[in-house]
Structure 1
Amino acid sequence: MKQKMQSERLGTEPIPKLLKNLSIPAMIGMFVMALYNVVDTIFISYGVGIDAVAGVTIAFPLMMIMMAVSAAMGIGGASVISRRLGERREEEANLVFGNIISVILIISLLGMIGAFTILEPILRLFGATPDILGYSIDYMFPILLGTFFFSFAFATNNIVRSEGNARFAMMTMIIPAVVNIILDPIFIFGFNMGVQGAAVATVISQASVTIVILRYFLTGKSSLQLRMVDLKIKYSIVKEVVAVGLPAFAQTAAGSVMMIAINTMLIRFGGDLYVGIFGIIQRIIMFTVMPMLGVMQGMQPIVGYNYGAKNFDRLRETVILSLKVTFIISLFIFILIMAVPNWLMMIFTSDPVVIDAGSEYLRIMFAAFFLITIQVISSGLYQALGKPKQALILSLSRQLIFLIPLVLILPHFIGVYGVFLAFPISDFFACLLGAFLMYRDRNIFFGKGKGKEKETAEKEPVPVSSGT
């Protein structure tokens, strides 16, 4: 009964309280998760040097590909599961969960094979120069060996949140972050392992939380059950999960392609130093975006559940409140970056050249940051509604459609500045696209009359496990 109440409150609790209770744990968890990426970079920068940061930055797109597949299964599965729970189809929700675990096992095997076969050629393809290739290999080899821990933890975090248990989802992000922060100096400095020490610490931290999550599902604390019978892969279920999760995959995979393009142009028009500077700025971006992603993740299970239950008033209230909260957060971050960018750079390095250049590029990249609200909420909304077409367009728009072409074109005219200027320009266009799609489909979540909303819902049915 307690397990059932956990998901049912998505349809009964007041929206402000519910969004707060789901978003704040997600924010805290993601803040801490971003923090250990930041700490990794700080230790590597001070302990090894800016070239090592550049090496890790070159390797990061490969790690993003791993995360992209996990995101597709986790976010896609979370959307399907939350709607199944809203429709009172608990057995089907368990079947979806079991199929996701099976796909993760297959992904993990491929990652381990890749560590021994294609790692070095891929890193060279991604732009690694002879000076930083060794750092890239040292970092990625242990990460690939631990693919299962990363994929399982990343995917199940979204699934735990889909049943409304934001507090435990928060813990699954805090635990590996704390473990990693503790182990980083031990492996990097104590064992003198350098960049590889940072990677080993990360793998161990993900393995620790994997044990915690498995215990959660196996001891009956979840609304879902992990059963052997549900591990048998059903094509229709995997197809539905992948269809809904495809935008999340595309967004992260596009991020990987974006990173490759950026690194290539930075090396061509600037050199390895600029890759290291961008590596630091990228960690700052991750840290500042996390609060908004936390709100979006808190919003998604509420939207998915109430869409499945046809509670359109609650769905609309959730979306409007989420837009307001994320805009306030983005405006605060914009003001902070414009005011004291050098303080943020000084956290990572004492090199005056890196601090001065990084501060200038930070201001350029964050010039339109307050527009990111529409991008984040619109993409998360369509994912939660199970509308992969719109979500895919939004996920690809900023990085693949706008940012990458600008990154490849602008440096030819204004040099290395063009790489950084591409960010605010793409933010502007992605905001326009997100606003257009949300306005076009406003009857689903902004319509004034319930009848009209229900009619829209009937025309666009929620996908089922046997769907196309």
Structure 2
Amino acid sequence: MKEQSQRLGIQPIPKLLMNLSVPAMIGMFVMALYNVIDTLFIARGVGILGVSGVSIGFPVMMIIMAIAAAVGIGGASVISRRLGENKQDEADQVFGNVLFTIVIVSSIGFIGAFTFLEPLLKLFGATENIMPYATDYLFPIMLGSVFFSFAFTTNNIIRSEGNSKFAMVTMIIPAVLNIILDPIFIFGLNMGVQGASIATVISQASVTIVVLNYFLKGKSSLTIKLASLKPQWLVIREVLTIGMPAFIRQVSGSGMMIAINLMLIKFGGEFEVGVFGIVQKLAMFTIMPMVGVLQGMQPIIGYNYGAKNYDRLKETVMLGMKVVTIISTGIFLLMMAFPEGLMNIFTGDNATIETGAFAIRIMFALAILIGAQVVSGGLYQALGMAKPALILSMARQVLFLIPLVLILPHFFGVTGVWLAFPLSDLMAFILSIIFLYKDRALFFKNKSSGRLVHPRQA
């Protein structure tokens, strides 16, 4: 086992969490920056209808990514625990089955580009004016879905073995390349929304080559073996079971956007869909640092749980909670103080800025609670506890946000869509606290026996 994996069990937690989280945060930050700049170029070069088209098409892309998330995050959880148990051959076997699964599932997007693309977009709320933009954006994305699936999945695998710096590089390369190619295709070649899409596919294809070289040249703790590529149902089932919360989270995010777009069109119009497309990119940008912290925590938690280093597990969780709470507080202050300035980055249209700033102040009213939600679901996932991870992953978007989005606009119009966000944040936070309190004994294990010690005995 390489040193990058062994340090998960020996390096001091504050230093280790920083070493793993900071590269993840930088990588997520750059990726989020690319998403923001992508939207900025479309807004400036195509207009608000172009942003609306991307907003309608984005849920389809999220579904493709949901499959990759289930395979990648589930595989990363299993691999990190196998490495912690010093079961190298089994870790390689899991990796091989992950690669096999990627090849199988990535064909769905390619086939869908030629078969059900337009009917799907109509189902998701594309109007006659929005459809050309949504189709232009999504068609190349679906053709190149194999690159997205491979890059997203292997990024989690690389992080699971403790190599956070290279995982960061694999996120930065496509983001930077995309930022460079966007203006060339959108403005230089006058390709509009489709230019942004093609730039994205080329960027993901480039990083796929880099990642393949990493594994094939022996730089990883994992080895690609032909025998490991042979599908084994028990391994695939374990990976998908643990990865199911990530799948649900991604799909529910897609469902959330579909519900929001439908309600905005019904109670507002195409203009509001475009405004939400901008605000949603800002929301993704703000949550990335917390996701980066979580990604730094997960391999530490999985490895030390497998190695029965329960004190290190507890210290990781407590420190991670403190960090994400500080980050979410900063996000709250930023969004309350400068929403107009943030909207002005994307557009000079006063109506768009005013509507967007109003939406931001409502949507982020309880942003300070987001950090605990992010960590709680990811914690259970890293431990391989699929049921609580699934419930907490579904909580904010499926159990609370989507129903509120569908109900509140009937009473408050478009404002009801924005109100659904802080209310769902509050409800999801309460549920997370209930779960963490109920399972508090998990962090007070008896070292000699490995049994759970009841809190009253701790």
The Cα shift of 1:226 comes to 1.3
List per-residue Cα deviations over 1:125-146 (Å, max 9, x = no partner). 0000000000000000000000
For residues 132-166 of structure 1, the C-alpha deviation after alignment (integer angstroms, 9 at most, x for no partner) is: 00000000000000011000000000000000000
The alignment partner of 1:422 has SS state of helix
Q: CA deviation at 1:228?
A: 1.9
Q: Which residue of 2 aligns with 1:387?
A: 385
Alignment correspondent of 2:416: 418
| CA distance in structure 2 between the aligned counterparts of 1:455 and 1:5, rounded to whole angstroms | 29
The Cα offsets for residues 213-264 of structure 1, whole Å up to 9 and x where unpaired, read as 0000000000001122211110000000000000000011011111100000
Aligned pair 1:119/2:137, yes or no? no
**Residue in 1 that maps onto 2:144:** 146
Residue pair 1:443, 1:452 contacting (<8 A) in 2 also = no
For the residues of structure 1 that align with 2:452 and 2:167, how far apart are their CA atoms? Answer: 33
For the pair 1:456 / 2:441, whether they are aligned, the reply is no
2:86 to 67, 83, 88: 88
Deviations 1:40-61 (CA, angstroms, capped at 9, x unpaired)? 1000000000011001000000
Give the match for residue 257 of structure 2.
Answer: 259
State the shift of 1:453 in Å.
Answer: 8.3
What amino acid does structure 2 have at the position aligned with 1:267? I
Equivalent AA in structure 2 for residue 415 of structure 1: G
Match for 1:108: what amino acid?
Answer: S
Answer yes or no: is 1:205 the counterpart of 2:203. Answer: yes
Q: How does 1:42-441 map to 2 (within 5 A)?
A: 42-441=40-439
Is the 2:264–2:273 Cα contact (8 Å) retained in structure 1?
Answer: yes
CA contact (8 A) 1:40 1:184 kept: yes
Q: What TM-score do you get using the length of structure 2 for normalisation?
A: 0.98
Letter paired with 1:384 = A
Q: What is the letter of the counterpart of residue 252 of structure 2?
A: A
Aligned counterpart, 1:461? none
CA distance in 1: counterparts of 2:185 and 2:316, whole angstroms: 44
Asked if structure 1 preserves the Cα contact closer than 8 Å seen for 2:446 and 2:452, the reply is: no
CA drift of 1:106 comes to: 1.0
How far apart are the structure 2 equivalents of 1:229 and 1:451?
A: 37
The one-character-per-residue Cα deviations of 1:258-286 (angstroms, maximum 9, x if unpaired) are 11000000000000000000000000000
- For residues 452 and 292 of structure 1, the distance between their equivalents in structure 2, rounded to whole angstroms, comes to 34
Q: Alpha-carbon deviations, 1:305-353, whole Å to 9, x = none?
A: 0000000000000000000000000001100110111011011111110
Whole-Å separation in 2 of the counterparts to 1:452 and 1:352:
65
Shift of 1:450: 3.0
- Please provide the CA RMSD for this pair: 1.2
Are the aligned partners of 2:109 and 2:145 in contact in 1 as well (CA < 8 Å)? yes
- Per-residue CA deviations over 1:414-447 (Å, capped at 9, x if unaligned) read 10000010000000000011111111111112x2
Task: Give the letter aligned to residue 420 of structure 1.
Answer: W
Residue 5 of structure 1, CA deviation: 1.6
Specify whether residues 453 and 166 from structure 1 end up closer, same or farther in structure 2 by C-alpha distance, changes over 3 A only: farther
Indicate conservation of the 8 Å contact 2:321/2:375, yes or no: yes
Helix, strand or coil: the match of 1:129? coil
Identity of counterpart residues, as a percentage?
64
Secondary structure at the aligned position of 2:336 is classed as helix
Q: CA deviation at 1:451?
A: 4.9
**2:126 alignment partner AA:** A
Runs of 5+ unmatched residues, structure 1: 458-468
**SS of residue in 1 equivalent to 2:345:** helix
Q: For 2:304, give the aligned amino acid.
A: N
Q: Gaps (5+ residues) in structure 2?
A: 454-458
Cα pair distance change 1:124/1:452, threshold 3 Å: farther
One-letter identity of the residue aligned with 2:451: E
Letter in 1 for 2:255: V
Partner SS, residue 162 of structure 2: coil
| CA distance, structure 1, for counterparts of residue 194 and residue 449 of structure 2 | 54
